[in-house]
Amino acid sequence: MILDIEHRLNFTYSGFISESSMELRVEPTSNQHQTVRSFYIAVGPVTKVFRYINWLGAPTHHFSITDYHKEIQVISRSVVESHPKHPGLEEILDSVEDIPTDGPILDSLMFTELVVDSEKLRQFCSSVDTSATLGGVVQQVAELVNQHMTYVAEVTTVATTSDEVLDHQSGVCQDFAHLALAMLRSLGIPCRYVSGYFHVSEPTKPSESHAWVEFFSPSFGWCGYDPTHGCLPDERHVMIAHGRDYNDAAPNRGVYVGNAAESLKVEVKTTEAEPTSPLDLRDDIGRIEVPVYAEFPQFTRSATPSDQMVAQQQQ
C-alpha cells in the first residue's frame, strides 16, 4: 500500500512571543517494513529548517524563529510504501529466559518517568504465564490490556504514567502503548515505544499520530504489536520513530519566549496514493506566509518584552 500522509501542526499564542525553537519528528523512516518515496516539510513563518538523524535513528527537523510572532504553522507531507514483515505471535517460539538483558538491549528493559515499575503493576501482571513462548506471553499481555482499557480521548495527557493509566482504565493510543511497555518490562521482555501514523480508509474526522510497541525476539529481532487495535502492525501502519517511551519519540518539542498562552491544533490526513516526487510535494504545499515583526508590535500590545517568560511548547 502506498500512503500519502499530510501532518499539520498549528500553534497559536494569546500574545506576541519573541522567539521559538522547535524540534520535530514527523518524517517516516525507510526500513524493512516501509519505504519512504518522498518527503517535504514547510514552516511558517518562513525560516531555515535543519535536519539530522537523532541518537535513536529517527530523522529530526529543528528550527528557530527570532522575530515577534503569534502563530506557527507546520505542514509535512510523506509518500510511503508499506510492506510489513512482522511475524505472527504464534510463530515466535522463543523462551523469555533466552532473551538477552545486557548490551544495547538494556535501555529497552529500563523503566522511565512514564513507564513505571510498581507493586500495582506487578499484581496486574501476576496472571501472565511466563512459561509460555515469547509470542504467547505477548498475547496474554495484549489480552489483559484490551480487557482492562477503554479508548477515551482527553482523559489523559502526554505526561500520564502507566500507573495512572491503570487507575483511569482508559486513554488513547500512547496510554495503551505505555501500559503494554510497563507490563512487558516487568516480565523481563525488552520493548520500545513506536510513534507513527495509522491509515483509516473512511475517516469521520481528521486523525492524529498513532503509537504502538515493539518487543525483542532472539529469533526475529524487533517485532511489532498494536495494543490499541489488538493487531500486528500491517499496511495501515507507518513508523516515524521509536524510543523508551513517548518522550523519546514525541512529534514536537520546544520552547518559546513570551508572556503568552499557547494552544495547539493537530490534524493528520492519510490517503492511498501513487508515488510522488519531492518536487510535487513542495509545489503542493508552497510557502506558509505567517507575519513576523522585528520589533514588538505596539498596536496590538498584549504583553511587553519586560513581561517575557520562557515556556515549554506543547507536545
Query: Which CATH number belongs to the domain containing residue 221 in this structure?
Result: 3.10.620.30
Q: Which domain holds residue 131?
A: 89-234
- In 83-159, DSSP assigns E strands to 150-151
Per-residue confidence (pLDDT) for residue 300, from 0 to 100: 47
Per-residue pLDDT reduced to its tens digit, 181-224: 999 999 999 999 999 999 988 776 767 889 999 999 999 999 99
Per-residue pLDDT reduced to its tens digit, 61-102: 999 999 999 999 999 999 999 999 999 999 999 999 989 888
Report the Cα 184 to chain-centroid distance in Å. Answer: 19
Per-residue confidence (pLDDT) for residue 313, from 0 to 100: 62
Does 150 lie in the same domain as 27?
A: no
Does 43 lie in the same domain as 146?
A: no
Does 286 lie in the same domain as 204?
A: no
d(CA 119, CA 231): 28
Does 116 lie in the same domain as 229?
A: yes
Angle between helix axes 173-186 and 134-148 (nearest 10 degrees) is: 140
d(CA 215, CA 83): 19
In-domain check, residue 179 = yes
State which residues of the chain have pLDDT below 50: 300-307
Kindly give, in sequence order, each residue whose CB lies less than 8 Å from that of residue 202, ignoring residues fewer than 6 positions away: none
DSSP type of residue 226: B
Per-residue confidence (pLDDT) for residue 306, from 0 to 100: 44
Which CATH number does the domain housing residue 6 bear? 2.60.40.2250
218 by DSSP, 3-state: which?
A: coil
Please say which residue of 234, 266, 296 terminates a domain. Answer: 234
Does 78 lie in the same domain as 98?
A: no
In-domain check, residue 167 = yes
CB 51 within 8 A of CB 8: no
Task: Convert 148-157 to b/e letters by CB count within 10 Å (16 or more is b).
Answer: ebeeeeeebe
d(CA 68, CA 300): 12
d(CA 181, CA 280): 39
In-domain check, residue 135 = yes
d(CA 240, CA 197): 8
Does 255 lie in the same domain as 150?
A: no
Neighbour tally for 222: CB within 10 Å: 19
Neighbour tally for 180: CB within 10 Å: 29
Does 184 lie in the same domain as 94?
A: yes
Does 120 lie in the same domain as 72?
A: no
The pairing of beta strand 150-151 with beta strand 69-82: unpaired
73 by DSSP, 3-state: which?
A: strand
Please name the residue that has the C-alpha cell 523462551: 95
In-domain check, residue 35 = yes
Coarse DSSP helix, strand, coil percentages of the chain, rounded to the nearest 5 percent: 25, 35, 40
Smallest CA-to-CA distance from 72 within 23, 25, 20, 26 is with 20
Does 151 lie in the same domain as 229?
A: yes
In-domain check, residue 241 = no
Number of domains observed in the structure of the chain: 2
In-domain check, residue 128 = yes
Which amino acid appears at position 139 of this protein?
Q
DSSP type of residue 274: -
Does 109 lie in the same domain as 51?
A: no
d(CA 313, CA 121): 31
Does 218 lie in the same domain as 129?
A: yes
Does 220 lie in the same domain as 98?
A: yes
Smallest CA-to-CA distance from 95 within 137, 40, 62 is with 137
Question: What values do phi and psi take at 201, rounded to 5?
Answer: -65, -35
In-domain check, residue 60 = yes
d(CA 153, CA 40): 30
In-domain check, residue 244 = no
